[in-house]
Amino acid sequence: MNSGDLLNEVKAKAQVWLEGNYDKETKAAVKNLLENDEKELIESFYRDLEFGTGGLRGIMGAGTNRMNIYTVGMATQGLSNYVLKNFKDLNQIKVAVAHDSRNNSRLFAETTAKIFAANGFKVYMFDALRPTPELSFAIRYYGCQTGVVITASHNPKEYNGYKAYWDDGGQIIAPHDKNIINEVLNIRSVDEVKWDGDESAIEILGHEFDEIYTDKIKGLSLSPELIKKYKDMKIVYTPIHGTGVKLAPMSLAKLGFTNIIHVPEQDVVDGNFPTVHSPNPEETAALSMAIAKAEAEDAELVMATDPDADRVGIAVRNTEGKFVILNGNQTAALLINYLLTKWSENGKLKGKEYIVKTIVTTELLADIAAKYKVPHYDVLTGFKFIADIIKQKEGELTFIGGGEESYGYLAGEFVRDKDAIISCSLIAETAAWAKSQGKKLYEMLLDIYVEFGFYKEDLISVVKKGKEGAEAIQQMMKEFRNNPPYSINGSTVTKIADYQYGELKDVVNNTSSAITLPKSNVLQFFTGDGSKISVRPSGTEPKIKFYFSVKTKLAGKADFAKVNAELDERIENIKKSLGIG
């Protein structure tokens, strides 16, 4: 399609919005685009905002390719139609709805709840913003058939999203994901949406439910005696203007921690995230205010959750007493090591327990699990796949914990998504455990490296925005798939895993075997020196991600700086070898 045809097509779609059953404000915004901003008009209407395998996520505004009450409404009607088909024998279908702190999140949540009610569903909706994992818990607690949380996680402030869950409390997976997409695609007009539900069908959840949720988290504690001993350990916590603002401190206090230090400026609930460039705990700048507070207060631990409080980033003092930010793999290693050690010491390991990690998460977790003879399962990137393993093994095996490199972790089985409220509580408990041994968390991490090997990981995200960006990302994946590197940083590529085609190719022996995981647009390259490079487009953001993992021995803590520098250099050389350095 040439540019003239595309422009004519989007103008025709925009005209439908001007003439249809849309509110005055929306029509005014569309009219302004038609008259004054051709480029933004194309971006807003060149496609329908895709209801992907996790739901919707996009920039807010008027148009078919934007997050607004109409795209949210059509998605909800499609989801409702699918739920009605799947649970037609139930006398009462139940759903749960939650939202984060983003601009328009409450509006989108109320819109969703009313449409669910109009379809005859019993709706449980929180009275205000709540963490995404609490929505997962509510679905399970109330026996709901589906649920929705309005959130764009850690995306920039102009974004919002719509994430759908199934009756196990996990995010939608196959076959429901594709089937729901088809139902949503079948909604061709806003006139097909049942907008006005009976509000008496909507039950509001408040503080009482928070108590139930945090009581369950308290039940995960493995060292209450250590918390009691080190209850006044100074912990700085920030929700970065998001949903963890009440629940994280509440859960920490319920476990017994009494010295939680806030960052007042970031306790302010604000979808503009005024104190940070990006509310992403993966980014160093997002923790800068909390670290400054920790320095001023002489605190030992910093924790920061993203806007929907399903992910957490932490900073700890190194051997010189300076704060350093740990990456997601390092925090996962500390947490899994603590859980498995305490489960073993407390006599809870019976031979029927397991952990789960994603394919791009550090192999260190597998090594730690092997020490305790606890099986581990690898799944595709995305916590919905971890939740699916828990569902498959429920009643047969016990899930201890799991995580992914992108700062998402979970323990226990009562939530089926990554949970920063649980994670904050158990990370603080891990810090108390380290303290009981006269160590900082950082020193404990070094001990893990000495015992299991020094794993070093890095991640590069190449951002490609808009229509042209999406096409560029697909072209990059095509190039890597059709013309793979056979040597990276001077080391021979020995294996190539292509999850799109379900094939693991042994390059050395020229043989292939099947990958049993679901199909996904992911490539992995394994080299003779033990490096692992993974490439995948983000499923939620306009970027392509490159994951790097290298490993070597660490003879002792004194060698850390030297070996760390060597591994950094190896990773940088790998990036240059691939042309992305």
Question: Both 276 and 199 in a single domain?
Answer: no
What residues contact 559, with CB distance under 8 A and at least 6 apart?
none
Question: Both 389 and 346 in a single domain?
Answer: yes
- Which sign does the torsion angle of CA 264, 265, 266, 269 carry? positive
pLDDT at 365: 97
CA atoms of 516 and 206, how far apart (whole Å):
43
- The distance from CA 285 to its chain's CA centroid, rounded to whole angstroms, is 19
Q: Contacts from 481-485 at CB under 8 Å and sequence distance 24+? A: 481/523, 484/523, 484/525, 485/525, 485/577, 485/578
Mean pLDDT of 26-44: 95
* pLDDT above 70: residue 2: no
Decide if 36 is inside a domain: no
Decide if 23 is inside a domain: no
* pLDDT above 90: residue 580: no
Question: Both 230 and 317 in a single domain?
Answer: yes
Decide if 101 is inside a domain: yes
Which CATH number fits the domain that encloses residue 521? 3.30.310
pLDDT in tens, 323-357: 999 999 999 999 999 999 999 999 999 999 999 99
Question: Both 229 and 164 in a single domain?
Answer: no
Chosen domain end from 452, 487, 512? 452
Q: Which residues pair with 525 in a beta bridge?
A: 496, 533
Decide if 18 is inside a domain: no
Which CATH number fits the domain that encloses residue 341? 3.40.120.10
Question: Both 261 and 389 in a single domain?
Answer: yes
Alpha-carbon distances, residue 256 vs 111, 268, 427, 429 (angstroms): 39, 25, 13, 10
Chosen domain end from 432, 452, 472? 452
* pLDDT above 80: residue 360: yes
Question: Both 105 and 190 in a single domain?
Answer: yes
* Boundaries of domain holding 477: 454-577
pLDDT in tens, 379-418: 999 899 999 999 999 999 999 999 999 999 999 999 999 9
Decide if 30 is inside a domain: no
CA atoms of 413 and 353, how far apart (whole Å):
12
Decide if 25 is inside a domain: no
* pLDDT above 60: residue 33: yes
Q: Which amino acid is at 278?
A: S
Torsion of CA 138, 140, 144, 146, to 10 degrees: 90
Is residue 84 within 8 Å of 227, Cβ to Cβ?
no
Closest by Cα among 308, 316, 312, 327 to 281: 312
pLDDT at 65: 96
pLDDT at 326: 97
Question: Both 354 and 343 in a single domain?
Answer: yes
- Higher pLDDT among residues 437 and 5, named by residue: 437
Supply the residues annotated as catalytic.
Answer: 153
Is residue 408 within 8 Å of 383, Cβ to Cβ?
yes
pLDDT in tens, 75-92: 999 999 999 999 999 999
Decide if 320 is inside a domain: yes
Question: Both 325 and 404 in a single domain?
Answer: yes
Q: Which residues pair with 491 in a beta bridge?
A: 488
pLDDT in tens, 480-533: 999 999 999 999 999 999 999 999 999 999 999 999 999 999 999 999 988 999
* pLDDT above 60: residue 1: no
Closest by Cα among 54, 60, 132, 127 to 308: 132
- Higher pLDDT among residues 151 and 1, named by residue: 151
* DSSP structure class, residue 558: G
Question: Both 394 and 472 in a single domain?
Answer: no
- Average confidence score pLDDT of the chain: 95
Question: Both 435 and 286 in a single domain?
Answer: yes
pLDDT at 462: 87
pLDDT in tens, 39-73: 999 999 999 998 887 789 999 999 999 999 999 99
Identify the burial level of 50 via C-beta atoms within 10 angstroms of its C-beta, where 0-12 means exposed, 13-18 middle and 19 or more buried: middle
Decide if 130 is inside a domain: yes
pLDDT at 50: 86
Chosen domain end from 148, 174, 205? 205
pLDDT at 542: 80
pLDDT at 324: 97
Question: Both 448 and 482 in a single domain?
Answer: no
Question: Both 447 and 474 in a single domain?
Answer: no
Count: domains in the chain: 3
